[in-house]
Amino acid sequence: MRILLTGAGGQLGRQLLLQGGDHAITAHLRGELDIADLDAVRAAVRAARPDLVLNAAAFNDVDGAETHPDAAFAGNALGPRNLALAAAEAGAAVLHVSTDYVFDGAKGAPYHEFDRPAPLSAYGRSKLAGEVAVREMNPRHYVVRTSWVYEAQGKNFPKTLRALAAKQRELRIVSDVKGSPTSAVHLAAAILRLVDSGAFGTYHLAGGGEGASWYDLAVVFFRALGLDTRLVPVPASEFPRPAPRPAYSVLRTIQSPRIVLPPWQEGVAAFARELQAL
């Protein structure tokens, strides 16, 4: 399969390149292709002649989206719309990566693909708008929602915790916000399996199990690293942020094919081992 990949320098993009060796991938790093520019997107699609346009690019500054909503919508809604449209014009499918932040967390139980979105933040609204645009522009689409992605080479919360542990004997970690920690290694493998299936639609691909708080993740992560830093569970109110987050955004899947990622604890432990080997 010929794939045009955007966001190739991000956590997921790197893993898709590493694992997608069976496919001919044309990769675009940030700055190489402005997905908000329809003419540029059309030219890139014509040059690559892909069977699939895979969008792993995004405006990921959740708090920054509150003060820069136009930039968030350009990256998370207009860009995906352009990619889906150009793909449709070229007879290609499109896969767009979205987020658990399209939900408000009020359900209090894991969200499946057919639950109604209700984003709380500008970031969440921009990501939901991207989903809608992709579905409208290209009937041959995959929308993949995921959550709390991390990867050894990337910038992410677990790596921040590890850096803080080198300087502090005690860390206060939020324990009342729950999501699905997701290894980019596992996510990339699941996405490649999905596109091989040819079953278009909306999918939740996130770390398996009943979800975790940031505190839960830190406990498993530090145990795997062999660190004895004292971890103190605290409410999210101790760390106020500009953008509201869903308090409970664990993802599960009821789609077919039913692609279930390994338990989130396995991903975190493997991630810790990889960091130690670097």
Task: For the beta carbon of residue 24, count every other beta carbon within 10 angstroms.
Answer: 14
Backbone angles phi, psi at 206, to 5 degrees: -150, 165
Residues 150, 255, 177, 64: what is their CA dihedral angle, to the nearest 10 degrees? 60
Annotated catalytic residue within 101, 123, 150, 203: 123
257: tokens are 């094919």
Residue closest to 174 by CA, chosen among 217, 210, 206: 217
Whole-angstrom Cα distance, residue 257 to residue 240?
39
Whole-angstrom Cα distance, residue 278 to residue 12?
19
Whole-angstrom Cα distance, residue 174 to residue 194?
33
Whole-angstrom Cα distance, residue 40 to residue 82?
9
Residue closest to 144 by CA, chosen among 88, 87, 89, 186: 186
Q: Catalytic site residue 111?
A: no
Q: Number of helices and strands (H, E) in the chain?
A: 10, 12
Residue closest to 141 by CA, chosen among 132, 128, 129: 132
Tell me which residues are annotated as active site: 123
